[in-house]
């Protein structure tokens, strides 16, 4: 009768090198890195678009094959995982640029390896919006679209992290100039940290959880 329904928030932690698991991250891990270039912006695939022919769930493998997209994938689920409600992420990022976007997408990887988008969100980072720690790391809270979804046994959860989703979101020029009218584009490295001090992850409202997630 009410939304969202009763659920247990469970955090799935990003693991360096592409893993995803409920267990806490380790100490002293090496960050994952990618280069974002607004002159060649990361494209958007599917999702809540006005053009019906391009909207909805789409196989994301083409965009996940790009070097400017990081993916974090769980092991095969032994039991169904049911999600209903708001979805949130926290991504610890260090960037050589002060202006950047953080795009996070949750996907369902089926038994054939196809990666279907479930929900996503984007946050724009600029000086003073979020505090930086002494090493320059910013903890970026990302609110994804709410969802009601069932991940089937044998499927895997996947989280994408990238610097944008163009043209659904205007590309960030990296300079602080107005979006859409910038005349200067700056590319730069992003580092995604996922250790005990910087526990990047995705919080899912689970109404049914597997006994072991792998």
Cα torsion 43, 45, 51, 56 to 10°: value is -160
The predicted pLDDT at position 214 comes to 42
> Hey, CA dihedral for 84, 86, 87, 88, is it positive or negative?
negative
In a domain, residue 3? The reply is no
Any domain includes 214: no
Query: Is 213 a domain residue?
Result: no
In a domain, 132, yes or no: yes
DSSP string, 197-211: SSB-EEEEEEEE--S
pLDDT value of residue 57: 84
**Mean pLDDT, to the nearest integer, of 112-134?**
96
Using one digit for the tens of pLDDT, what is the confidence trace for 127-158?
999 999 999 999 999 999 999 999 999 999 99
Percent of the chain with pLDDT strictly greater than 70: 93
**What is the average per-residue pLDDT within 103-110?**
98
- Has residue 123 been placed in a domain? yes
With respect to residue 130, please indicate whether it lies within any of the assigned structural domains.
Answer: yes
pLDDT digits (tens, 9 = 90+) for 47-64: 766 555 566 789 999 999
On whether residue 2 sits in a domain, the answer given is no
d(CA 40, CA 21): 32
Residues whose CB falls within 8 Å of the CB of residue 131, separated by 6 or more in sequence, listed in order: 138, 139
Q: What is the pTM of this model?
A: 0.93
CATH number for the domain that contains residue 111: 2.60.120.260
Distances (CA, A) of 213 to 6, 27, 95, 131: 21, 21, 32, 33
Q: Which residues have CB under 8 Å from 11's CB, separation 6+?
A: 22, 199, 201, 202, 203, 204
Number of domains in the chain: 1
165 is a domain residue? yes
Among residues 170, 25, 147, the alpha carbon closest in space to that of 88 is found at 147
Domain of 35, in residue numbers: 8-208
Q: What 3-state DSSP class applies to 21?
A: strand
Task: Output the six-digit token pair for 75.
Answer: 């092991």
What phi and psi, each to the nearest 5 degrees, are found at residue 176?
90, -5
Rounded CA-CA distance 109/173 in Å is 32
pLDDT band at residue 212, thresholds of 50, 70 and 90? very low
């Amino acid at each position: 009768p009410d939304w969202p329904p009763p659920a247990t928030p469970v955090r799935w932690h990003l693991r360096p090198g592409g893993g995803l698991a409920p267990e806490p991250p380790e100490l002293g891990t090496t960050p994952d890195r990618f280069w974002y270039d607004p002159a060649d912006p990361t494209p958007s695939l599917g999702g809540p678009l006005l053009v019906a022919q391009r909207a909805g769930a789409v196989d994301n493998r083409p965009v996940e094959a790009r070097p400017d997209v990081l993916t974090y994938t769980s092991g095969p689920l032994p039991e169904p995982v049911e999600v209903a409600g708001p979805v949130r992420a926290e991504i610890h990022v260090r960037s050589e640029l002060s202006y950047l976007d953080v795009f996070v997408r949750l996907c369902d990887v089926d038994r054939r390896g196809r990666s279907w988008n479930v929900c996503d969100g984007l946050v724009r980072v600029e000086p003073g919006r979020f505090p930086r720690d002494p090493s320059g790391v910013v903890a970026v809270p990302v609110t994804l679209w709410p969802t009601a979804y069932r991940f089937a046994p044998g499927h895997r959860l996947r989280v994408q992290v990238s610097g944008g989703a163009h043209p659904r979101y205007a590309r960030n020029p990296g300079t602080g100039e107005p979006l859409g009218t910038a005349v200067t584009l700056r590319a730069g490295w992003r580092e995604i940290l996922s250790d005990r001090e910087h526990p990047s992850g995705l919080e899912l409202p689970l109404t049914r959880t597997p006994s072991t997630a792998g």
